[in-house]
C-alpha cells in the first residue's frame, strides 16, 4: 500500500469536485482497501463518501429505489424487498459474510472487482490491471473463470451476486457527475472485456452511482436466487442463477433469468426465457430450455464443467420455483 | 473422564491472551519479506536504491547485503537454507530480501520498490507430469515386504488370490492455514536475545537460532504461551524467525517480522501431493491375502522431508502378505513438510478406499470387511497391541449411527433433490511416550504452577497440565496455573506427533507428587514450620495434617515466610518394545449429493475413539472434531494448485478453500476411555492427529453409496461428480 491523502465529505457536489483521475471513492471499503493492500489499486487520493446522504430504501408502485450507500445488510433485511423481490434478498444473503454485508454498500457491490487470482497478484501479468501485459488465465488456472462474454484479453468473471439479480429484474443505475445526472440500464452499464478489459463499465471518471432503480414486477414475488459453490458459504459463485417465473395455470407465462459466475458480466439469458414461455415447466422441457444457456460459451481447460453446471443450476432453480422436481 | 473448561479460554475469547504478533516492545521496528517470482535460478541483482530512501526505511537486506546468518546445523522438516545466504532461487515465493522500517506499512511499501533481476533456469514443478521420474526416498527403506513362506513376491501372492482390486489414488498439495500467521518479535539486551514467536516447541527455536546466529543457546530466551494453530507448520523454523533476530541485532532495536497470509503459503511448507496404487488380493469372503501399497509423494528440492504415505498399510489390517513401496518426485517447489497425520491421512484415503472397492466388488458390507480383516497383532512385525478396542468402536459406532439402515445399492436413498449415502472408515495413528521434565511449584498464596517447555496450539495442553497437577495435589483446577512455552522451563515434549499428553502427562503427575513430597519434608524440617519435628505429617487435598493441626500449604508457606516449595521430575522414554502402540477409532458419516448440481455436503458424523485414558473430555472432543473438520476439507475442498511457473495459483484464503461453519454438521464423538497402562501409568495415548485419518475415505465411500461414483482423486469437487 502506497501513501495517499484522505478526505471525507458529506456533500455529493464536493465529492464530485474532489474527484480526479488519481482518486478513488471510499464507501464500505471491502473492495478498495483490500485491493490497496495488495497494490492492485493505488489511488493517490481517497475520498470518503460514507457521509453522503444516499442511504434510503423506498418501495412503492413504481418499484424499488435503493440509495447507493445503503449497506448490503440494510437491503437484505428490508421486508418489502423480501416480499416483492425474494431473489434480491437471497442474492444478498448468499454473498460474502455478515460482517462484510454490514460494511459493503450497494453501489460498491456493483463496482467490485473480479476475484481472478491473477488480477489480485501484482507479480503476474493482467490486462485488466495493467493493459497490454497479458492474461495468464487463458492457459493457466481458470477453473473459476468465465465461459460467456470473454475475450482473448480477459476471461474474468464479474463477482457480484446482487448484480445478477438486478440484471434479471431489469434494474438501472442513476449516475451523477459534474456534467449532471443520467440513468443507465444495468445490463448496459457493464462492458464486455473485448481488448479493453480495464474498462469495466460506463462510469465516467469522477462519476458516482447515487441510486439503484428496480422496476415494479408483480410476478417477481415468485423468484429465487440459487448459488452453487464448492463450500456452503463465504465463497464466490461457481455458477448462480436469478429466476423469476410468471406461472399461470401451470404454464410459464413469462420468465426472467440471469446467471452469475459464468459471465464477464452479469448474464441475462433471453433465449432461455423464450424457450420457457408458454410451456409447462416439466423436467424435460426445463432442461431443454436451460441447454440454450450454453450458446456462445467458450470454455477453457479447467472450467468446461461450468457449461453443464450452469444448465443444471438453471434447471434446479426453475423446477424448484415451479414447485416441481 | 473429566470435562474441564480451558484454563486459557477466557483470556483467548476476551483478547487478553497475547500471541507473538501482539508483542510491541519499546522501539519496535517492522520487517517485511521480499519473495522470489521464479521457481529456479539465480538472483542477479536487486536495486534497493529507491527502497532504502523510502520514508521510514531502516535497512534493506538482500543476498548481496546479507545478515550473515550461519548455515543451519540440522533439519526440522523445514527449509534447510538460512535466508539470504546465497542468491540461489529454489522455489517461487522464497525469501530473497527483508526490508525493515519504522512501521509495517512503510516496510511493505518499500518492499515493492526493490527491482529484482534473475537468471532463470528450467524448473520442474508439476507432480503429476513428473511421476515417471520418481526416485527412492533420500532416507528410509524404499520397500518393505512381509511375505508368507509360499510366496516369493507380493505379485505372486496377488496372483494366487481369488479376487484382486487395483486402483490409483491422487491427493493434491494441502496447506495448514492455521488461524495465526507466522510472526516473530526479537529483542536483544546486550548479548542476550528474547524471542516471542510462533512455534510448536520453544526448544526447537532455541537450537536452530543458536546455530544460525552463532550464539550459545543459554543466551536465547524463547517465549510462546499461546499458539493460534499449528498442524505441523510451526514445528520448523521459517525465514521470518532468523531474519527478525539477525536484523534486531544489527539495528540495535527490536524487530517484528510477520508473514502475510499469501507468504505463509510459500515461506512455510505444505503437505506433499501423493499418487498411490493399491492392490488388494482376497478370498471371496473378503479376507485379505495380499496388500500391495505403493506410494509416491512430492518432495521439495529445498529439504529432505518425505511423506512415507504407504506406511499406513503396515499398521491397519491383517494380511499374510504385505508390500509397501515408497518413492518421491523431487520438484522446484516450496518446502514439503509435516501436516496433521503426515503420511497417514493421505495413506488412509487410498488404503481405506481400496478396501471399500473390494467390499463393493464382493458385495460385502464395508464395516463387515473391516471386521473380517481385524488385526489382532501389528501386521508387519506381528507384535501384540498395548491396548486395542477398535472392534468395540465398530460395534458401538454402528449401533449409535444406525449403520444397519445403510442401503448397499447406490442411489437408492433420496431426500428431495439430494442423493443420500453412508460411509465409514477406520482411523488409527501411532502412539508413543518420550522423555519429559516438569517443574511444579507450590506458592504461598495457595496456588500451584506447572512449568514445562511444550506448546499449546489450541489443543488444551495447558488445561491438561492443570488438571493432572490438581488431581495429584487434591486441589481445584482453578488453583493451578500452567506455565507453558517458555524456554527457561524444564524440557517437556514439543507439540507434535500426537505426543504431548502421553509424554508430558506422566511427567506432570510425577512432578506434582515430588512437589507434595518436598512440601512434606519442608513442613517437618523447616524451623518456622508449625509441623517442625513432627513425625506423622500427612498431605490431603492441599492441607497438611498432624496431631490436631490442619493447615493449607499456602498458610504453611506464609507462616514460614517462604515464597514457594518446588520440585522437578522427569518421566523417562517408554522402552517397552514388546508391544505396538496405536490409537484407534471408527468414523461413520452421511453425505448428500445434489442430483442436479452435484455438490457433496456432509450431513451427519460420528467418530468413536479408543485412545487410552481421556484426560479432559471437553478439549479432547474438540481435538477429534477439529480432525474431522480438517478431514472434510481434505476430502471435499482443499487443493493448493501449482502452476508451471512454480507459483501456487490460489495462495490466499478466498481461493484455497477450507471448510466454513456451514459445511460442518453436528459431529458426535464418543470416547471408550480404556487407559493404556502399558504405555504409561497415566494411560493416555494421542488424539491430535487421529481423527483426520480415514475421514476422507469415509466421505468418498458415502459419496459412492449416494451416487455410484467412486472418486479416486481429492478433493471431491462437484465437477468430478457432474457427469
Q: Which residues of A touch B594 (CB under 8 A)?
A: 316
Residue B375 lies in a domain: no
Indicate left, alpha or beta for B328 from its phi (over 0: left) and psi (-120 to 50: alpha): beta
Q: Does A228 sit within 8 Å of B599, measured CB to CB? A: yes
Distance in angstroms (rounded) separating the CA atoms of residues B609 and B397: 9
pLDDT lower than 70: segments of chain A: 325
Integer Cα distance of A54 and A69 in angstroms: 5
Span B106-128, pLDDT tens digits: 999 999 999 999 999 999 999 99
Same domain? B218 vs B103:
yes
The three cell numbers locating residue A48: 470518503
Higher pLDDT, B218 or B76: B218
With beta carbons less than 8 A apart as the criterion, state whether B657 and A235 touch: yes
Same-domain pairing of B81 and B201:
yes
Active site residues of B: 689
Q: How far does B659 lie from chain A, in Å, by closest CA?
A: 7
Grid cell 499461546 in the structure block, residue: B226
Q: Based on the domain organization, do B415 and B443 belong to the same domain?
A: no
In terms of domains, do B427 and B445 share one? no
Angle ∠(B714,B719,B723) on CA atoms, nearest 5: 115
The cell numbers describing B259, all together, are 508473514
B722: chain A residues, CB-CB within 8 Å: 305, 308-309, 312
- The residue assigned the cell 472434510 is B632
d(CA B653, CA B664): 18
Cβ contact, residue pair A236, B654, below 8 Å: yes
Q: How far is the CA of A132 from the CAs of A127, B115, B427, in angstroms? A: 5, 21, 53
Which of B89, B655, B662, B664 to mutate: most A Cβ within 10 Å?
A: B655
Q: How many CB atoms lie within 10 A of CB B372?
A: 18
| Contact check, Cβ <8 Å, B718/A3 | no
CA of A315: which chain B residue's CA is closest? B596
What CATH number is associated with residue B209? Answer: 3.30.365.10
Return left, alpha or beta for B453; rule: phi > 0 is left, psi -120 to 50 is alpha, else beta: alpha
Burial B75-109 (b: 16+ CB within 10 A, else e): ebbbbbbbbbbebbbbbbbbbbbbbbbeebbbbbb
Q: Which grid cell is A180?
A: 449532471
pLDDT of residue B73: 85
Dist. CA B553–CA B555, nearest whole Å: 5
Give per-residue pLDDT as tens, B37-68. Answer: 999 999 999 999 999 999 999 999 999 999 99
Question: Is the pLDDT assigned to residue B265 strictly greater than 60?
Answer: yes
B107 shares a domain with B56: yes
Q: Are residues B617 and B679 in the same domain?
A: yes
B211 vs B196: CA distance, rounded Å: 18
C-alpha separations of A31 from A36, A115, A293 in Å: 9, 10, 30
Contact residues on chain B for A284, CB-CB shorter than 8 A:
none
Distance CA B111, CA A243 (A): 48
Whether residue A234 lies within 8 A of chain B, CB to CB, comes out as yes
Rounded distance between C-alpha atoms, residue A33 and residue A31, angstroms: 6
Q: Could you report the per-residue pLDDT of A125-175, keeping only the tens digit for each? A: 999 999 999 999 999 999 999 999 999 999 999 999 999 999 999 999 999
Distance CA A162, CA A159 (A): 9
- In terms of Cβ atoms closer than 10 Å to its own Cβ (0-12, 13-18, 19+), residue B535 is exposed
CA distance B358 to B353: 9
B713 located within any domain = yes
Question: Does some domain include residue B108?
Answer: yes
Do A28 and A108 meet the contact criterion of CB atoms below 8 Å apart? yes
Nearest to A230 among B105, B637, B641 (CB): B637
The strand pairing partners of A176, in sequence order, are A181, A208
- Sign of the CA dihedral B630, B496, B620, B584? positive
The answer, for B189 touching chain A at a CB cutoff of 8 Å, is: no
Q: Distance between CA atoms of A60 and B615, rounded to whole angstroms?
A: 63
Instruction: List helix spans (H) across A3-57.
Output: 12-18, 32-37
Nearest CA in chain A to B639: A230
Among A123, A140, A231, the residue with its CB nearest the CB of B649 is A140
Number of domains forming the structure of chain B: 3
- Number of inter-chain CB pairs under 8 A, A vs B: 85
- Does some domain include residue B619? yes
Cα–Cα–Cα angle for A276, A277, A282, rounded to 5 degrees: 45
B636 at interface of A, judged by CB pairs closer than 8 A: yes
> Are B657 and A117 in contact (CB < 8 Å)?
no
Residue A1: its pLDDT value, please? 78
Q: Is the pLDDT of residue B236 over 90?
A: no
SS3 state of residue B477: helix
Select the residue of A121, A235, A315 nearest B657 (Cβ to Cβ). A235
Q: Mean pLDDT over residues B320-328, rounded?
A: 98
Structural domain that includes position B117: 21-122+176-267
**Does B92 score more than 80 pLDDT?**
yes
CA angle B320, B321, B325 (to 5 degrees): 145
For B202, which DSSP code? H
Indicate whether B324 belongs to any domain: no
Q: Are residues B428 and B462 in the same domain?
A: no
Q: Is any Cβ of chain A less than 8 angstroms from the Cβ of B252?
A: no
Residues B515, B556 within the same domain: yes
Instruction: Kindly state whether B599 is in contact with chain A, defined as any CB-CB distance less than 8 angstroms.
Output: yes
* Pair B412, B487 in one domain: no
Cα-to-chain-centroid distance, residue A36: 21
Q: What is the rounded average pLDDT for all residues in chain B?
A: 97
Cα Dmax for chain B: 85
Q: Say if B525 falls within a structural domain.
A: yes
Residues B552 and B604 in one domain: no
A29 in contact with B, Cβ within 8 Å: no
Pairing between β-strand A45-48 and β-strand A5-8 as defined by DSSP bridges:
parallel
Cis peptide before B334 (omega within 30 of 0): no
Scan for cell 510472526, then name that residue.
B183
Residues B702, B600 within the same domain: yes
Cross-chain CB nearest to A230 (options B37, B718, B722): B718
Residue at B406 is within a domain: yes
Q: What does each C-alpha distance from B465 to B95, B483, B493, B677 come to in angstroms?
A: 38, 9, 12, 19
**Residue A72 vs residues A11, B246, B418: alpha-carbon distances, Å:** 22, 47, 31
Residue after which a domain boundary falls, among B530, B549, B571: B571
List the single residue in A2, A115, A309 with the smallest CB-CB distance to B722: A309
What is the per-residue pLDDT for B162? Answer: 98
Q: Which of B267, B287, B321 is the last residue of a domain?
A: B267
Q: What band does B418 get if pLDDT is binned at 50, 70 and 90?
A: very high
Looking up cell 475415505, which residue turns up? B697
Domain end, chosen from B571, B599, B616, is at B571
Residue B361 counted as domain residue: no
B632 shares its domain with B582? yes
DSSP state of B691: G
> Chain B 22-51, CB below 8 Å of chain A: which residues?
37
Amino acid at each position: 500500500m502506497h501513501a495517499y491523502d484522505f478526505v471525507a465529505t458529506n456533500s455529493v457536489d464536493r465529492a464530485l469536485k474532489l474527484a480526479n483521475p488519481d482518486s478513488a471513492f471510499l464507501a464500505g471499503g471491502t473492495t478498495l482497501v483490500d485491493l490497496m493492500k495488495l497494490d492492485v489499486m493505488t489511488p493517490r487520493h481517497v475520498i470518503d463518501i460514507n457521509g453522503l446522504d444516499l442511504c434510503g430504501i423506498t418501495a412503492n408502485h413504481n418499484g424499488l429505489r435503493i440509495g447507493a450507500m445503503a449497506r448490503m445488510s440494510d437491503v437484505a433485511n428490508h421486508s418489502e424487498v423480501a416480499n416483492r423481490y425474494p431473489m434480491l434478498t437471497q442474492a444478498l444473503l448468499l454473498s460474502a459474510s455478515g460482517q462484510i454485508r454490514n460494511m459493503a454498500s450497494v453501489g460498491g457491490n456493483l463496482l467490485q472487482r473480479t476475484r481472478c487470482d491473477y488480477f489480485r497478484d501484482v507479480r503476474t501479468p493482467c490486462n485488466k490491471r495493467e493493459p497490454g501485459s497479458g492474461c495468464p488465465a487463458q492457459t493457466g488456472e481458470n477453473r473459476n473463470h468465465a465461459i460467456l462474454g470473454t475475450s482473448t484479453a480477459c476471461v474474468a468473471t464479474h463477482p457480484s451476486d446482487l448484480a445478477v439479480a438486478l440484471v434479471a429484474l431489469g434494474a438501472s443505475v442513476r449516475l451523477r457527475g459534474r456534467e449532471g445526472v443520467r440513468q443507465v440500464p444495468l445490463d448496459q452499464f457493464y462492458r464486455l472485456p473485448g481488448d479493453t478489459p480495464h474498462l469495466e463499465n460506463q462510469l465516467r471518471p469522477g462519476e458516482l452511482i447515487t441510486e439503484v432503480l428496480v422496476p415494479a414486477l408483480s410476478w417477481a414475488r415468485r423468484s429465487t436466487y440459487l448459488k452453487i459453490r464448492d463450500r456452503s458459504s463465504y465463497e464466490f459463485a461457481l455458477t448462480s442463477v436469478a429466476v423469476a417465473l410468471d406461472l399461470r395455470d401451470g404454464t410459464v407465462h413469462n420468465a426472467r433469468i440471469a446467471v452469475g459466475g459464468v459471465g464477464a458480466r452479469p448474464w441475462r439469458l433471453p433465449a432461455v426465457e423464450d424457450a420457457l414461455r408458454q410451456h409447462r415447466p416439466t423436467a424435460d422441457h426445463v432442461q431443454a430450455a436451460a441447454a440454450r444457456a450454453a450458446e456462445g460459451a467458450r470454455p477453457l481447460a479447467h472450467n468446461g464443467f461450468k457449461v453443464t453446471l450452469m444448465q443444471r443450476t438453471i434447471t434446479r432453480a426453475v423446477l424448484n420455483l415451479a414447485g416441481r422436481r | 473422564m473429566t470435562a474441564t473448561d480451558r484454563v486459557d479460554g477466557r483470556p483467548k475469547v476476551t483478547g487478553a491472551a497475547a500471541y507473538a504478533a501482539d508483542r510491541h516492545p519499546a522501539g519496535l521496528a517492522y520487517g517485511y519479506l521480499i519473495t522470489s517470482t521464479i521457481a529456479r535460478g539465480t538472483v542477479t541483482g536487486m536495486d534497493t536504491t529507491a527502497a532504502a530512501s523510502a520514508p521510514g526505511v531502516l535497512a534493506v537486506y538482500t543476498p548481496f547485503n546479507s545478515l550473515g546468518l550461519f548455515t543451519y546445523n540440522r533439519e526440522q522438516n523445514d527449509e534447510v537454507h538460512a535466508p539470504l545466504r546465497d542468491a540461489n532461487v529454489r522455489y517461487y515465493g522464497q525469501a530473497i530480501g527483508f526490508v525493515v522500517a519504522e512501521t509495517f506499512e512503510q516496510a511493505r511499501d518499500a518492499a515493492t520498490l526493490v527491482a529484482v533481476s534473475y537468471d532463470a533456469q528450467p524448473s520442474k514443478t508439476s507432480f503429476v507430469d513428473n511421476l515417471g521420474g520418481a526416485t527412492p526416498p533420500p532416507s528410509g527403506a524404499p520397500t518393505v515386504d512381509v511375505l508368507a513362506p509360499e510366496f516369493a513376491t507380493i505379485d505372486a501372492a496377488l496372483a494366487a488370490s481369488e479376487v484382486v482390486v487395483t486402483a490409483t489414488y491422487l491427493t493434491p498439495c494441502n496447506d495448514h492455514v492455521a488461524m495465526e500467521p507466522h510472526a516473530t518479535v526479537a529483542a536483544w539486551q546486550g548479548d542476550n536475545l528474547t524471542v516471542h514467536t510462533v512455534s510448536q516447541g520453544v526448544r526447537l527455536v532455541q537450537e536452530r537460532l543458536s546455530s544460525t546466529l552463532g550464539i550459545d543457546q543459554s543466551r536465547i530466551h524463547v517465549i510462546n504461551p499461546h499458539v493460534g494453530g499449528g498442524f505441523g507448520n510451526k514445528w520448523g523454523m521459517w525465514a521470518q524467525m532468523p531474519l527478525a533476530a539477525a536484523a534486531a541485532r544489527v539495528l540495535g532495536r527490536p524487530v517484528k517480522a510477520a508473514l502475510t497470509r499469501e507468504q505463509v503459503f510459500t515461506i512455510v511448507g505444505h503437505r506433499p501431493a501423493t499418487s498411490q496404487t493399491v492392490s488388494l488380493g482376497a478370498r471371496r469372503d473378503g479376507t485379505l491375502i495380499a496388500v500391495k501399497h505403493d506410494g509416491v509423494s512430492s518432495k521439495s528440492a529445498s529439504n529432505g522431508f518425505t511423506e512415507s504415505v504407504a506406511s499406513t498399510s503396515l499398521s491397519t489390517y491383517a494380511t499374510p502378505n504385505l508390500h509397501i513401496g515408497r518413492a518421491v518426485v523431487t520438484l522446484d517447489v516450496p518446502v514439503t513438510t509435516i501436516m496433521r497425520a503426515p503420511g497417514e491421512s493421505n495413506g488412509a484415503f487410498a488404503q481405506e478406499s481400496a478396501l471399500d472397492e473390494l467390499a463393493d466388488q464382493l458385495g460385502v458390507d464395508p464395516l463387515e470387511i473391516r471386521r473380517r480383516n481385524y488385526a489382532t497383532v501389528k501386521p508387519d512385525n506381528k507384535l501384540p497391541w498395548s491396548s486395542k478396542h477398535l472392534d468395540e468402536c465398530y460395534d458401538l459406532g454402528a449401533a449409535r449411527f444406525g449403520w444397519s439402515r445403510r442401503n448397499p445399492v447406490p442411489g437408492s436413498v433420496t431426500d428431495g433433490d439430494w442423493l443420500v449415502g453412508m460411509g465409514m472408515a477406520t482411523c488409527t495413528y501411532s502412539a508413543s511416550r518420550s522423555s519429559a521434565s516438569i517443574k511444579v511449584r507450590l506458592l504461598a498464596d495457595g496456588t500451584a504452577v506447572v512449568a514445562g517447555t511444550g506448546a499449546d496450539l489450541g489443543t488444551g495442553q495447558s488445561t491438561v497440565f492443570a488438571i493432572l497437577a490438581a488431581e495429584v495435589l487434591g486441589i481445584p483446577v482453578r488453583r493451578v496455573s500452567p506455565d507453558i512455552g517458555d524456554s527457561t522451563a524444564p524440557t517437556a515434549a514439543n507439540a507434535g506427533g500426537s505426543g504431548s499428553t502421553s509424554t508430558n502427562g506422566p511427567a506432570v503427575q510425577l512432578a506434582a507428587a515430588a512437589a507434595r513430597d518436598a512440601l512434606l519434608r519442608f513442613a517437618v524440617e523447616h524451623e518456622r514450620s508449625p509441623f517442625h519435628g513432627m513425625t506423622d505429617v500427612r498431605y490431603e487435598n492441599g492441607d497438611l495434617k498432624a496431631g490436631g493441626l490442619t493447615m493449607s500449604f499456602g498458610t504453611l508457606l506464609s507462616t514460614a515466610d517462604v515464597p514457594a516449595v518446588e520440585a522437578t521430575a522427569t518421566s523417562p522414554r517408554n522402552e517397552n518394545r514388546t508391544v505396538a502402540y496405536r490409537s484407534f477409532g471408527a468414523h461413520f458419516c452421511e453425505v448428500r449429493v445434489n442430483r442436479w448440481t452435484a455438490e457433496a455436503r456432509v450431513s451427519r458424523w460420528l467418530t468413536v475413539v479408543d485412545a487410552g485414558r481421556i484426560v479432559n473430555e471437553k478439549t479432547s472432543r474438540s481435538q477429534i472434531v477439529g480432525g474431522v473438520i480438517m478431514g472434510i476439507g481434505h476430502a471435499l475442498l482443499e487443493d493448493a494448485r501449482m502452476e508451471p511457473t512454480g507459483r501456487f495459483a490460489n495462495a490466499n484464503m478466498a481461493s484455497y478453500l477450507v471448510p466454513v461453519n456451514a459445511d460442518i454438521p453436528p459431529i458426535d464423538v464418543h470416547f471408550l476411555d480404556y487407559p493404556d497402562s502399558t504405555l504409561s501409568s497415566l494411560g493416555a495415548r494421542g488424539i491430535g492427529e487421529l481423527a483426520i485419518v480415514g475421514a476422507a475415505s469415509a466421505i468418498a465411500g458415502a459419496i459412492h453409496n449416494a451416487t455410484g461414483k467412486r472418486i479416486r482423486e481429492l478433493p471431491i469437487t462437484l465437477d468430478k461428480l457432474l457427469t
